[in-house]
Amino acid sequence: MNEFVVHTIPGSPYARAVLIALEEKRAPYRVVRVAPGTLRTPDHLARHPFGRVPILYHGDFRLFESQAILRYVDRVVPQPALTPKEAKAASRMDQVMNINDWYLFQGVANVIVFQRVIGPRLMGLTADEVAIAAVMPKAQAVFAELSRQLGDKDFFAGDSITLADILLVAQLDFFRATPEFTPLANPHANLLAWLDRMAARPSLVATTPERVAAMAKAA
Ligand SMILES: N[C@@H](CCC(=O)N[C@@H](CS)C(=O)NCC(=O)O)C(=O)O
């Protein structure tokens, strides 16, 4: 099995999801550091035409888009399976992954986490409180729906961890660094308990932003 190579900015939640999946599979991988200021350079755009991370290399095969990468890893390293076999559970997994991408990240996390964490820490910006307040109703709706989908189960789809848990936990664990997280999550005890259980898994402990920064090598 060729080693997997993940190009990322350490801290990227999408890339962390890929690393969590590789850890769950115990697959060999290494991390190549992408500097935030290089996303629009010709070299990076040749790897990712939309100027984002993560990018996966597996031998001479290159892939971008986290859902595609996660499903590829699950297909080429079948055990432990991260997709339920049963059709309804598998479609629940797909649904949660799309909630993550379309409703949690787009218009909620990419506003609140940018305003609170990325802008201030990386770009010296001051948080735009009006922009944050404007997305809170959508954020509340997303957290409520995620809590409803989880219900009293241990995982979002099926009896064991799936790609849905992995994609979502990477996003929510990053979101936890914002002051908005507590009022959004506190009404949903099941979601908080799931997040704590997930965060204690070795695959999450191995992929914290600090651990990824320590293992990342320059390209
Ligand atoms: N749809 C992409 C989203 C990836 C994404 O937005 N990555 C962020 C980091 S978590 C990024 O590269 N942001 C840089 C930018 O937007 O310029 C995926 O699933 O991989």
- pTM confidence score: 0.97
Atom of ligand 1 at shortest distance to CA of 39? 17
The SS3 assignment for 44 reads: helix
Please tell me whether residues 153 and 64 are part of one structural domain: no
Please tell me whether residues 20 and 58 are part of one structural domain: yes
Please tell me whether residues 149 and 209 are part of one structural domain: no
> Ligand 1, residues 47, 52, 98, 110: which to mutate, most atoms within 8 A of Cβ?
52
User: What tens digit of pLDDT does each residue of 131-181 get?
Assistant: 999 999 999 999 999 999 999 999 999 899 999 999 999 999 999 999 999
What is the whole-number distance in angstroms between the Cα of residue 152 and the centre of ligand 1?
31
8 Å CB contact between 69 and 47: no
Please tell me whether residues 115 and 43 are part of one structural domain: no
- Provide the residue count of the chain: 219
Atom of ligand 1 at shortest distance to CA of 54? 20
What is the whole-number distance in angstroms between the Cα of residue 14 and the centre of ligand 1?
7
Element (H, E) at 93: helix 87-99
Please tell me whether residues 41 and 119 are part of one structural domain: no
Please tell me whether residues 183 and 129 are part of one structural domain: yes
Please tell me whether residues 68 and 98 are part of one structural domain: no
**H-type helices in 100-152, by residue range?**
110-113, 119-123, 129-150
Please tell me whether residues 193 and 214 are part of one structural domain: no
Please tell me whether residues 35 and 92 are part of one structural domain: no
* CB 13 near ligand 1, within 6 Å: yes
Please tell me whether residues 166 and 67 are part of one structural domain: no
Structural domain span for residue 160? 87-201
First to last CA, the chain: 22
User: What tens digit of pLDDT does each residue of 95-108 get?
Assistant: 999 999 999 999 99
User: What tens digit of pLDDT does each residue of 10-51 get?
Assistant: 999 999 999 999 999 999 999 999 999 999 999 999 999 999
